[in-house]
Amino acid sequence: MADLDDIRDGNDFGIGIPPANQSFYIKGHDHMGWGLKNRMANMFNKKSGNSVMLAFDHGFLMGPTSGLERIDLNILPLAPYVDVMMGCKGMLRSTLPPECETPIAVRADAGTTILTEMNNNVLMDVNEALAMNAQCMAIMLAIGCPSYEASTVRNLYTLVDKANPLGMPVMGITAVGKDMARDARYFGMAARVAAENGANIVKTYYAEGFEKVVAGCPVPVVIAGGKKLPEPNALELCYKAIQCGAVGVDMGRNIFQSEDPAAMAQAVAGVVHDGLTPAEGMEKFNDLKRK
């Protein structure tokens, strides 16, 4: 057992110092296999190095929540404006046209809903994701949850062991329990645990001090949008995260529940890829909304 008597918070993160000897443009992937790197390159823009992922996997927990009542009507029109579409296998198969050129990430764990205690999940088979031509498999981690931390870390570890030899990237999603503080110390630990156990991408939440979360994680970090925010606040969230070193967003409600989802997706892309400020992003949103 680890010695827990003298745990000291990290304080020397080398903020602003790029990874040493990096030749491939995606952090932490120089030594990965060609197939895995190719899938990562399909998700992350070659020019900016960043990604706008549209998450619409909420239905496996919540059912047809607002904005997701009809994926064919509400979500598919957004595909041209994002880099990755992230959903569950059943919805991807039943509603996403096979000629869609936007890469997909598939939610790879499921088992419980908001009607019960969540996180008691099972894993999707990697071969099924390969058959769907998925570029990534996404799986949740309940770090700090006494009931489900061990089982969700085991799920990640198991999935990585099966996915890595087949060239399939895995994204670790850090869930936030009701008793966990939403701060950089917690998110930094959760992100690092995900990466240490083999995640190729980490999805987590923004908090003050986020630059330490990113610096302490050896693989790309994207932020979750979380609950619906007013458009200016959501764009500011994106901007702050990118300024702290995040390489994109995996955003759902702040896009598909916007008053103009297509305009919002393009405004977010402007912040993530083109370096727009929140004010410039909001100007783009309003211009597109008027059109």
Among 203, 212, 240, 284, the one annotated catalytic: 203
Adjacent-strand bridge partners of 110? 122
pLDDT digits (tens, 9 = 90+) for 252-265: 999 999 999 999 99
Known catalytic membership, residue 37: no
> What domains does the chain contain, in order, with CATH numbers?
34-58+65-230+249-259 (3.20.20.70)
**Gyration radius from the chain CA atoms:** 18
- pLDDT greater than 50 at residue 50: yes
The tokens of 128 are what? 């099924």
- pLDDT greater than 90 at residue 161: yes
- pLDDT greater than 90 at residue 93: yes
- pLDDT greater than 50 at residue 112: yes
Residues 40, 49: contact at Cβ < 8 Å? no
Band (117; pLDDT cuts 50, 70, 90): confident
The tokens of 277 are what? 């400020």
Exposed e or buried b per residue across 13-52, where buried means at least 16 C-beta atoms within 10 angstroms of its C-beta: eeeeeeeeeeeebbbbbeebeeebbebbbbbbbeebebbb
Nearest to 83 by CA among 277, 248, 285, 286: 248
Nearest to 256 by CA among 225, 282, 281: 225
Q: In one letter, which amino acid is 112?
A: T
- The CB density around residue 224, as the number of other CB atoms within 10 Å, is 23
Nearest to 192 by CA among 175, 209, 216, 172: 216
Report the mean per-residue pLDDT for the chain: 92
The tokens of 116 are what? 């019960």
pLDDT digits (tens, 9 = 90+) for 16-46: 878 777 889 999 999 999 999 999 999 999 9
DSSP state, residue 186: H
11-15, 83-87, 212-216: segment of lowest average pLDDT: 11-15
Angle between helix 261-274 and 278-290 (nearest 10): 150
DSSP state, residue 116: S
